[in-house]
A and B are shown apart, each in its own frame.
Chain A
Amino acid sequence: MSWLMTLRVALRALARNKMRSFLTGLGVVIGVAAVIAMVAIGDGAKARVEATFAAMGSNMLIVMNGSSAGGGAMGGFGSQPTLTWDDLKAIQTELSAVREAAPLLRSSAQLLSDDANWGSSVQGTTPGFLRVRSWDVVQGASFTQSDVDGGAKVALLGQTVVGKLYGANANPVGQIMRIKNVPFTVAGVLARKGQSPFGQDYDDVVLIPVTTFQQKIAGGLKSYITGVIMVSAISADATQRAQAQIRELLRDRHRLSDDADDDFNIRNLSEIASARQEGTRTLTTLLAAIAAVSLLVGGIGIMNIMLVSVTERTREIGVRMAVGARARDIQLQFLVEALTLSVAGGLVGVGLGLGIAWRLAAAFGWSVLVRPDIILLAVGFSGLVGVAFGFYPALKASRLDPITALRFE
């Protein structure tokens, strides 16, 4: 019998018991829908984590000052300035795994526009910082290296600051604003970056040239960097290498003996990011595993019903054998029936799962991630379930003795 004919016979047999076929298929529907929805939830969470870490910057390392030790009290990292401007220059120019390095000095300050004022974080840096953070300027332009060299009084505003000082959607480029009462020209507006993984608003910030920062906002030691050095490695894989190179370079430059502790600290943010991603991946796997169990239960439902069906249709099997069906024709017929149930259930399940994923994404504010590989996998797996759980009943049917089958009441 041809495949097409076998399929038609299977469809007809399933149509004879519509309610039962529906309920049996429902097991697979729920299983597949669960897999799809769960993976979508996991992926949504992962994408969100990835997005937040991407917002922090790409392949980023943070080099911090060392700790102070005064009168037996150890200060935290950054309490003892050890990083010099020459260290920064060396990191920028001498290391192969480093793409970009920029200083970052922070202070909180009161900002004034013509009609409003707002307390925010003022950060002194160089244009390279925007590349380290993968941060775009959406209006106006970034300040330049010559602004840094000349200590120009220009500022880049974060979106939150623009909103507070000028109102949302305003274009403040060219306006004069005051930071700690020092007038600055707004050079540009930064792209919206959202929140940090810890809830901090990245957009509530004003960036100014680091030289201007030292002269006008916060004084302090001129030869040391009283902040951090933000470093971007050449690639995600290179962050470890960059970290090792920076450590070696700084130990050498600071003339630390082999048994001395580092007088600086390097934070590898991509490690935090990958740890977070590992966490969400584990979550996704767990959810998918739970969902797979429900698919398995659906498969057992199919097997159960197929066994019932074989018993019920024993006479039919006998008649088919009497008119010339071979054992493999019978086996194929029941196998195709189980397969049809499970694959049809799988396809409906994909639809349902996507629907659920959509609703959940809307509820949590995630983007919907339709993963064709997962859909194929789920449908393929449901087919596999059909074959695996349909095999035994089909074998049982094909091994019936035609005489006994014909006499079966």
Chain B
Amino acid sequence: MDRPALVQLKDVTKIYRMGDVELVALRGVSLEIAQGEFTAIMGASGSGKSTLMNLLGCLDRPTAGSYLLEGQDISVLSNDQLASLRNQTLGFVFQSFNLLSRTSALENVELPLLYSGVPAAERHQRARESLVRVGLGDRLHHHPNQMSGGQQQRVAIARALVNRPRVILADEPTGNLDSRTSVDVMALFQALGRTGITVLLVTHEPDIAAYATRVVTMRDGLIRSDQRQAQKAAVPLPDGTEAHP
């Protein structure tokens, strides 16, 4: 590859200390992810996949080893610089959506822009565009409790997209959705991948991992397998039918 990979992990370990007990979550993980890859990280609970996700998302720092994001070593960055990376370079999507309640879709999507000092008019404009992009142009002023799970997750994706990130990190994004809505959301991620956004997906469901171009499987804090695959096209099903993956 000519350019350095977007994400470079080298011998990353992560040890949590709880009093006298040491919990080794990652035992030396090396991983490179190129721009535009759609990677699924799989593994059972306790395999270290969530810890890996938190590190990749700059929410945490490795105990040892190095993590370069866009060639930048994140271990030397201050907390404020990490916050700025999360704001500008990364976008998060969570299993439980994590939208602010009693706050409209538009305002939820504007949230990252608040912290990057975008002026109000541009903020509204970009948030609206982002919501239109995920197919919610007609739900701008709905509150989370007025929307279905799939719609809420799409608002969350719009929020992750609004600051034009390089990487979207999705932690079990379909975990709270029914299978049919899950397909919709995966189709959205695939579409994003085609525009050059790097998507990192944590899941324990092989059906969901099938939509990725690469599957990294973890167990006991180590990568057990790393396979590239032809991604399964997520075709949104017509109304009234059930998904049978």
Q: Chain A: residues with CB nearer than 8 A to chain B?
A: 1-2, 5, 9, 12, 16, 315-316, 318-329, 402-403, 406
Chain B residues lying within 8 Å of A321, measured Cβ to Cβ, are 59, 83, 86
Closest beta carbon of chain A to B24's beta carbon, Å: 17
Name A's interface SS: helix
| Inter-chain contact B98/A406, CB cutoff 8 Å | yes
Q: Which of A5, A9, A316, A319 has the most CB of B within 10 A?
A: A319
Q: Contact at B159–A323, with CB atoms within 8 Å?
A: yes
Minimum distance in angstroms from B62 CB to a CB of chain A: 14
Q: Which residues of B are found within 8 Å of A2, using beta-carbon distances?
A: 117
Residues in B with CB closer than 8 Å to A320 are: 111, 115
B84 near A: Cβ within 8 Å? Answer: yes
User: Which of B32-40, B87-95, B180-188, B189-197 sits within the interface?
Assistant: B87-95
Give 19 CB contacts A-B under 8 Å: A1-B114, A2-B117, A9-B114, A319-B100, A320-B111, A322-B57, A322-B92, A324-B88, A324-B112, A324-B115, A324-B116, A325-B115, A326-B80, A326-B84, A403-B54, A403-B59, A403-B60, A406-B59, A406-B94
Contact B59 A322 (CB under 8 A): yes
* A325: nearest chain-B partner, CB-CB: B115
Question: Which B91-117 residues sit within 8 Å CB-CB of chain A?
Answer: 92, 94, 98-100, 102-103, 111-112, 114-117
B117 touches A327 (CB 8 A): no
Chain A residues contacting B80 (CB-CB under 8 Å) are 326-328
Once the chains bind, are A1 and B117 in contact (CB under 8 Å)?
yes
**B229: interface (CB < 8 Å):** no
Q: Which of chain A's residues have a CB closer than 8 A to the CB of B112?
A: 323-324
Q: Which residues of B contact A (CB under 8 A)?
A: 54, 57, 59-60, 79-80, 83-84, 86-88, 92, 94, 98-100, 102-103, 111-112, 114-117, 159, 163
With A and B bound together, what is the CA distance between A328 and B60 in angstroms? 18
Are B83 and A324 in touch, CB under 8 angstroms? Answer: yes
Residues of B within 8 A of A5 (CB): 114
Q: Point out the residue from B59, B87, B111, B114 that lies within 8 Å of A402, measured CB to CB.
A: B59
CB distance from B167 to the nearest CB of A (A): 13
Residue on A with the closest CB to B108?
A319
Among A16, A318, A324, A403, point to the contact of B98 (Cβ < 8 A). Answer: A318
Are A324 and B84 within 8 A (Cβ)?
Answer: yes
Instruction: Tell whether A322 pairs with B60 under 8 Å between CB atoms, given A1-B117, A5-B114.
Output: no
A334 CB → nearest B CB, Å: 15
CB distance from A320 to the nearest CB of B (A): 7
A323 touches B117 (CB 8 A): no
A398 CB to nearest chain B CB (Å): 10
Q: How far is the CB of A249 from chain B (nearest CB, A)?
A: 79
A406 cross-chain contacts in B, Cβ below 8 A: 59, 94, 98
Bound-state Cα–Cα, A321 to B98, Å = 12
Q: Are B86 and A323 in contact (CB under 8 A)?
A: yes
> CB < 8 Å: which of A12, A316, A318, A325 contacts B83?
A325
Give the residues in chain A near B116, CB-CB below 8 Å: 324
Q: Decide if A329 touches B100 in the complex (CB within 8 Å).
A: no
Question: Can you name the residue of chain B whose Cβ is closest to the Cβ of A319?
Answer: B98
Q: B161 to nearest A CB, angstroms?
A: 11
Q: Write the chain A residue with the least CB distance to B115.
A: A324
Bound CA–CA A329/B87 (angstroms): 13
Which residues of A lie under 8 Å from residue B115 when comparing CB positions? 1, 320, 323-326, 329
Chain B residues within 8 Å of A322, by CB = 57, 59, 86, 92, 98
When chains A and B are docked, how far (Å) is the Cα of A12 from the Cα of B114? 15
Smallest Cβ distance from B153 to chain A, in angstroms? 14
How far, in Å, is B91 (CB) from chain A's closest CB? Answer: 8
Residue among B79, B83, B92, B98 with most chain A CB within 10 A: B83
Give every chain A residue within 8 A of B103 (Cβ-Cβ): 12
Q: Which of A1, A2, A322 has the most CB of B within 10 A?
A: A322
On chain B, the residues within 8 Å of A324 by CB distance are 83-84, 86-88, 112, 115-116, 163
A318-B98, A402-B59 known; A323-B79 Cβ under 8 A: no
Residues of B within 8 A of A16 (CB): 102
Considering only CB atoms, which chain A residue lies closest to B107 in the complex?
A12
Candidate in A2, A16, A326, A327 with the most chain B CB atoms within 10 angstroms: A326
Residue of A nearest to B54 (CB): A403
> Is A323 within 8 A of B102, CB to CB?
no
Residue of B nearest to A2 (CB): B117
- Shortest C-beta distance, B158 to chain A (Å), equals 12
A327 to B100, CA, bound (A): 19
- When distances are taken between beta carbons in the complex, the residues of chain A under 8 Å from B163 are 324
Report, nearest first, the 9 A-B pairs whose CB atoms are least far apart: A324-B87, A323-B112, A324-B115, A326-B83, A319-B98, A326-B80, A322-B92, A324-B86, A402-B59
